[in-house]
Amino acid sequence: MSLFNFFTEEIAIDLGTANTLIIHNDKVVVDQPSIVAIDRKTDKVKAVGSRAMLMHEKTHADIKTIRPLKDGVIADFQAAESMIREMIKMIYEGKRKPLFPPSYRMVICIPSGITEVEKRAVKDSAENSGGKEVKMIHEPMAAAIGIGIDVEEPSGNMIIDIGGGTTEIAVISLSGIVGDQSIRVAGDEFTADIVDYMRRQHNMMIGERTAERIKINIGAALTELENPPEDFPVNGRDLMTGIPKQIIVTYSEVAHALDKSISKIEEAILKALETTPPELAADIYKTGLYLTGGGALLRGLDKRISAKTKLPVHVADDPLRAVVRGTGIALKKMNQFTFLMD
């Protein structure tokens, strides 16, 4: 055993626009919002993840919060590096820290529509954060592995991964992506839709975090649901008077607000189905579509997509962690899945 192997730790990272998850020793050890708080004067990192999220939209002039990823790719290189480095440190919270800083063998997942330049940015950030060997796997492939699909089989499966920044739609067969659509309409867009709706419909200004809470508590894709969630009280600022106020919002209002963005996702799904080779289309007719990612948790989304495509739609168990689970499996079976990685 070489000295390099002795000090090498293996980690799988799902570097998401909204959340970053890290698997170490087969366990999800980090599940944090992808955000960094930085001191403007010293450029030092003040907080990362949940603590930085608590500061988001509440900072004064000396502190700024940055979300380093936008639409699934790195928008702020320096902040991304700081965030990855700090989140890797979180692996050892409450444990004995290693005497020597270990080198990391990493598998990171990336959107399927990513460019070479964007891919390079992810790789450089990971290497600068201690990664000695960095491999990358496409998100829909990781999601498919994570929900237990045998990707090496000669049969077609369609994965729809609705993340924070991008929606990835891919047809997978024989360990490869046969056709894919990657659109930049996903969780962040839903949040922006809710902020916009509250301003137009209720003359009320709300922040990103409040919109996120509305989405989680009463987010829906259909205006009529069998088990509707309870109405949700929302606090914000009245645009007419400038005074803080509270209003009650229903899930069907949220469904109206999200309608346009969900239609764009539906169009992308139909486009992906149109370009699917006929033999694989025959498989998809039997197996249906698989929904993963945070967006899969929108109430009634599976029914809406099913009505649009006339195909069965399955929501993965724990869709938020499907991608990181698949990335973890790819890390464990790195030799077997070499061809899936860049």
> How far is the CA of 213 from the CAs of 181, 187, 232, in angstroms?
28, 12, 10
Condensed to tens digits (0 to 9), the pLDDT of residues 324-339 reads 999 999 998 887 776 6
Count CB neighbours of 263 within 10 A.
13
Give yes or no for a contact between 341 and 176, defined as CB atoms under 8 angstroms apart.
no
Two structure tokens written together for 295: 């967006």
Which DSSP symbol is given to 178?
E
pLDDT at position 5: 55
Q: Are residues 101 and 210 in the same domain?
A: no
Q: Are residues 197 and 156 in the same domain?
A: no
pLDDT at position 99: 66
Which residue range(s) make up the domain with 22?
Answer: 3-34+69-142+323-340
The residue-averaged pLDDT of 167-171 equals 95
CATH of the domain at 171: 3.30.420.40
* Residue in the structure block whose two tokens are 């694989």: 280
Q: What distance in Å separates the CA atoms of residue 34 and residue 21, rounded to the nearest whole number?
A: 9
Q: Are residues 252 and 292 in the same domain?
A: no
Which stretches of the chain are DSSP H helices?
A: 3-6, 50-55, 77-89, 116-128, 139-146, 187-202, 208-218, 251-274, 278-287, 301-309, 322-332
Q: What distance in Å separates the CA atoms of residue 276 and residue 309, rounded to the nearest whole number?
A: 14
Q: Are residues 310 and 330 in the same domain?
A: no
For residue 291, the SS3 value is strand
> How far is the CA of 273 from the CAs of 154, 239, 263, 270, in angstroms?
18, 44, 15, 5
Please count the structural domains in the chain. 3
Q: What distance in Å separates the CA atoms of residue 166 and residue 182, rounded to the nearest whole number?
A: 7
* Residue 72: band (very low, low, confident or very high) from pLDDT cuts 50, 70, 90: confident
State what percent of residues in the chain have pLDDT above 90: 79
CATH of the domain at 198: 3.90.640.10
Query: Has residue 85 been placed in a domain?
Result: yes
Q: Are residues 178 and 300 in the same domain?
A: yes
pLDDT at position 71: 85
Condensed to tens digits (0 to 9), the pLDDT of residues 79-95 reads 999 999 999 989 888 77
Query: Has residue 108 been placed in a domain?
Result: yes
pLDDT at 97 over 70: no
Query: Has residue 301 been placed in a domain?
Result: yes
- Please, what is the average pLDDT of the chain? 92
* Residue 1: band (very low, low, confident or very high) from pLDDT cuts 50, 70, 90: very low
pLDDT at position 211: 97
Q: What distance in Å separates the CA atoms of residue 225 and residue 329, rounded to the nearest whole number?
A: 36
Lowest mean pLDDT among 128-132, 152-156, 307-311: 128-132
pLDDT at position 339: 62
Q: Are residues 133 and 249 in the same domain?
A: no
Contacts with 55 (C-beta within 8 Å, 6 or more apart), sequence order: 37, 46, 47, 63, 65
Q: Are residues 251 and 262 in the same domain?
A: no
Number of H helices, E strands in the chain: 11, 18
Give yes or no for a contact between 108 and 122, defined as CB atoms under 8 angstroms apart.
yes
Query: Has residue 311 been placed in a domain?
Result: yes
Query: Has residue 235 been placed in a domain?
Result: yes
- This prediction has a pTM of 0.91
* Residue 3: band (very low, low, confident or very high) from pLDDT cuts 50, 70, 90: very low
Query: Has residue 48 been placed in a domain?
Result: no
Q: Which residue has the higher pLDDT, 96 or 290?
A: 290
* Residue 340: band (very low, low, confident or very high) from pLDDT cuts 50, 70, 90: low
Query: Has residue 289 been placed in a domain?
Result: yes
Condensed to tens digits (0 to 9), the pLDDT of residues 7-35 reads 788 999 999 999 999 999 899 999 999 99
Q: Are residues 7 and 75 in the same domain?
A: yes
Query: Has residue 293 been placed in a domain?
Result: yes
Q: Are residues 178 and 309 in the same domain?
A: yes
Q: Are residues 130 and 278 in the same domain?
A: no
The residue-averaged pLDDT of 207-226 equals 96
Q: Are residues 206 and 252 in the same domain?
A: yes
* Residue 2: band (very low, low, confident or very high) from pLDDT cuts 50, 70, 90: very low
Q: Are residues 228 and 114 in the same domain?
A: no
